[in-house]
Amino acid sequence: MSNSNPVKRLDLVVVGGGFGGMYAVYKFREMGLNIQAFEAGGGLGGVWYWNRYPGARVDLPSIDYCFSFSEEVQQEWTWSEQFAAQPELLRYINFVAERLDLNKHFQFNTRVVSAVWDELRQLWVVKTNKGETYEATYCVMATGPLSVPKEPDIEGYKTFKGETYHAARWPHEEVSFAGKRVGVIGTGSTGIQIVQEVGPKAGELFVFQRTPSFTMPMRNQKLEPEYVAEVKRNYAGLREAARNSAVGGLRPQSTRAFFSVTPSQRQALLEDSWKQGGLAMLGTFSDLLYNPEANEHVAEFVRGKIGEMVKDPVTAEKLKPKGYPIFARRPCLDTSYYETYNLPTVHLVDCLEEPIVEITEKGVRTEGREIELDMLIFATGYDGLTGALLAFDVVGRNGQKVNDKWREGSRSYLGLMMEGFPNLFMTTGPNGPAALANIVAISENDVNWIADAITHMDKQGLSAMEPTKKAEDDWMAIVASLGQRSLLTKAKTWYLGANVKDKPQGLTLFTGGFHKYREFCAAATQNGYANFSFAKRDKSAAA
């Protein structure tokens, strides 16, 4: 330690400036804790700071996808669209930051490079890439489930001499597509949004599709002032309903099983949900994630719609997803994705028939040809759920690293804490409902839970807490048994770690719904923290 760079002692460190980090900073500051937060980006927003790609837009209703903890904020902010685009989301994030004076607690453009538990002193030693060291009683990892972009695993991907972009690291400057031959690799939620936006603007667009996704009409709308006023009048009730729903939002859900109604009624309901748009279809029947036969009927309905929208029957056939259940991959919402393929300048390259061999200086070489391009866009996804926490050294009790603990797959209690890592908390962590429910609602739940835990420790004169091994094992058994019932395991997705080479495979998301997750979180508090072990504040050695 040099005198010019002294160690700073804090109560709590927050890593990450997305929704989780923002609320954590607010909550713990209001509790009077001495805090410091770090964010690798140049501003707040997490995913919405980085993902400035053309067409980026949230696929949950804006009125849900925002903070509920501040009545002032939710009354003062007005959403303009049912599904907000990235610029509006970022404006909202900056509005909240300014309104609640959050920026001053963040050090931007700063990465935490290590966090090491000091057992003797019962604190975390946190180092940054700026050469600073902080010591804190608590560490909150608000590092997000989708913050580490996946490097494209394609031979020669750095050799391309044209313009290259990764959707998750899009530049702040405007990118022009006019007159250019553009290639997009990837057709998940991100690729679909890019294709429908860039297709009409590019000279020519080549879409490299390996696995087709199911996408449904978003049917986005401008929000009428009367509707917004009504929402604001009723926000308290709407938020309560969202917190008690499986998805943490106001999506209709049904208790009607698919085969409980006649074929013509089913058809009418599906047509109706298609017209409604959004994720209405998923909520029309209760068993689409559990009953493969029901699921296949719905998949076939959507394939029929693709056939109606895409004029060229060969292209339509290639765009129809087959071989995995609908909704097992993240369902996408689009505005004009399929219609984009009716443009004479837009070409689908089916990488199942014609696999990519390598990226060259000039473009993409498939098994059949070299496609010359001016620009290449990677929409190849993320090292999801665990990538961010494994990207730096997190060392708990007895020198155990998270990397070692998660060697066979992520393990935690409630996605909030890990045995062996005292006073280390996660928001929207793996083994929780992240990715399957509203991330803002989960973040608020998690930060509130952490705040209660810290208050409990403070009142009881405790210096450290961690879940017992049994609590963690029991939780992981619940996550596994619920996951086995779900069709989510039947597709190769980032939910399962299938998109990252050598990553442990398996569904480590809680599939029981956000409402049930909240019940488990509340029970872990209400039973007097029986599932945790604690160390007393006056102890000089760790428990």
DSSP code, position 69: S
249 near ligand NAP (CB under 6 A): no
Q: In this chain, which of 110, 196, 211, 445 binds ligand NAP, going by CB under 6 A?
A: 211
What is the spatial distance between Cα 116 and Cα 393, in angstroms, rounded to a whole number? 8
Q: In this chain, which of 91, 121, 210, 320 binds ligand NAP, going by CB under 6 A?
A: 210
Q: In this chain, which of 330, 347, 362, 397 binds ligand NAP, going by CB under 6 A?
A: 330
Q: How far is the CB of 152 from ligand NAP (least distance, A)?
A: 5
End-to-end CA distance of the chain: 28
Q: In this chain, which of 148, 185, 205, 442 binds ligand NAP, going by CB under 6 A?
A: 185
| Residues 251-290, mask of contacts with ligand NAP (x by CB under 6 A) | ----------------------------------------
The DSSP line for 109-140 is: S--EEEEEEETTTTEEEEEETTS-EEEEEEEE
356 near ligand NAP (CB under 6 A): yes
What is the spatial distance between Cα 4 and Cα 423, in angstroms, rounded to a whole number? 29
Return the number of the residue (58 or 125) whose C-beta is nearest ligand NAP.
58
Q: What are phi and psi of 394, to 5 degrees?
A: -120, 115
Angle of CA points 490, 351, 373, to nearest 5°? 135
Q: How far is the CB of 387 from ligand NAP (least distance, A)?
A: 12
Q: In this chain, which of 73, 85, 113, 154 binds ligand NAP, going by CB under 6 A?
A: 154
215-254: b (≥16 Cβ within 10 Å) or e: bbbbebeebeeeeeeebbeeeeebbeebbebbbbbbbeee
57 near ligand NAP (CB under 6 A): yes
321 near ligand NAP (CB under 6 A): no
Q: In this chain, which of 62, 122, 187, 427 binds ligand NAP, going by CB under 6 A?
A: 187
374-403 residues in contact with ligand NAP (CB under 6 A) are 379-382
59 near ligand NAP (CB under 6 A): yes
Q: In this chain, which of 494, 510, 529, 532 binds ligand NAP, going by CB under 6 A?
A: 494
| Residues 434-453, mask of contacts with ligand NAP (x by CB under 6 A) | -x------------------
188 near ligand NAP (CB under 6 A): yes
Stretch that binds ligand NAP, among 52-60, 86-94, 234-242, 505-513 (CB under 6 A): 52-60
And the tokens for 130? 């700026």
Return the number of the residue (152 or 396) whose C-beta is nearest ligand NAP.
152
Return the number of the residue (22 or 437) whose C-beta is nearest ligand NAP.
437
DSSP code, position 159: -
Return the number of the residue (168 or 395) whose C-beta is nearest ligand NAP.
168
Q: Which of 195, 221, 196 is nearest to 208 (CA)?
A: 195
- Burial of 159 per CB tally in 10 Å (0-12, 13-18, 19+): exposed
Q: Which of 264, 328, 265 is nearest to 291 (CA)?
A: 328
Q: In this chain, which of 82, 122, 190, 423 binds ligand NAP, going by CB under 6 A?
A: 190
Name the residue number minimizing CB distance to ligand NAP. Answer: 188
Stretch that binds ligand NAP, among 33-41, 53-61, 96-104, 110-118 (CB under 6 A): 53-61
318 near ligand NAP (CB under 6 A): no
Return the number of the residue (57 or 318) whose C-beta is nearest ligand NAP.
57
186 near ligand NAP (CB under 6 A): yes
Return the number of the residue (8 or 492) whose C-beta is nearest ligand NAP.
492
What is the spatial distance between Cα 128 and Cα 113, in angstroms, rounded to a whole number? 5
Distance (Å) of CA 529 to CA 33, 59, 449, 457? 22, 36, 12, 10
Beta strands in 210-355 (DSSP E): 215-217, 332-334, 346-350
Q: In this chain, which of 61, 191, 278, 415 binds ligand NAP, going by CB under 6 A?
A: 191
DSSP code, position 2: -
Helical spans, DSSP H, in 332-468: 337-340, 387-390, 402-405, 439-460
Q: What are phi and psi of 454, to 5 degrees?
A: -65, -40
Return the number of the residue (169 or 539) whose C-beta is nearest ligand NAP.
169
- Burial of 393 per CB tally in 10 Å (0-12, 13-18, 19+): middle
146 near ligand NAP (CB under 6 A): yes
Q: In this chain, which of 110, 143, 189, 245 binds ligand NAP, going by CB under 6 A?
A: 189
Q: Which of 406, 382, 416, 404 is nearest to 495 (CA)?
A: 382
153 near ligand NAP (CB under 6 A): yes
Give residue 432's Cα distance to chain centre: 12
Q: In this chain, which of 58, 453, 457, 471 binds ligand NAP, going by CB under 6 A?
A: 58
Q: How far is the CB of 47 from ligand NAP (least distance, A)?
A: 8
Q: How far is the CB of 411 from ligand NAP (least distance, A)?
A: 22
DSSP code, position 363: E
Residue 79 near residue 85 (C-beta atoms within 8 A): no
Q: What are phi and psi of 222, to 5 degrees?
A: -70, 145
137 near ligand NAP (CB under 6 A): no
Binding site for ligand NAP (CB under 6 A): 57-59, 146, 152-154, 185-191, 193, 208, 210-211, 330, 351, 356, 379-382, 435, 494, 499
